[in-house]
Amino acid sequence: MWFRIGLIAIVLSFVPWLFMAAAPLFGLSLGAAAGLVAGLLVVAEVLFWAGLALAGKDTWQAVKARGWRHAPSELGRLLVHGRPVARNGEDDGVDARR
């Protein structure tokens, strides 16, 4: 359960970046826009690192192995199918879900 909550947090960490890109379009003063962007940056980073801590090291390695371009599809696959299988002979190929 914590694994999937972590993956959802990682995926949601990309949403504040969209709002940061759109911040100039909100019609806020320069100071308010800067405050909004700073707050959204903190939220995005906290969501990402907390999600990564909950999802685990195997998830990080699986996403890195696929490459950043394919990271969203790999996160979606992990969300649907569960934890990645240990690689490089670690744990004798035992499924990391156990």
What tens-digit pLDDT sequence spans the chain (98 residues)?
Answer: 888 899 899 889 999 999 999 998 999 999 999 999 999 999 999 999 999 999 888 888 888 888 888 888 888 888 888 877 666 555 444 444 44
Say which residue the tokens 């911040």 belong to.
23
| pTM of the predicted protein model | 0.72
DSSP for the chain, please give it. -HHHHHHHHHHHTTHHHHHHHHGGGGT--HHHHHHHHHHHHHHHHHHHHHHHHHH-HHHHHHHHHH-GGGHHHHHHHHHHH-SPBP-TTGGGG-BTT-
Where exactly are the structural domains of the chain? 2-93
pLDDT given for residue 56 in this prediction: 86
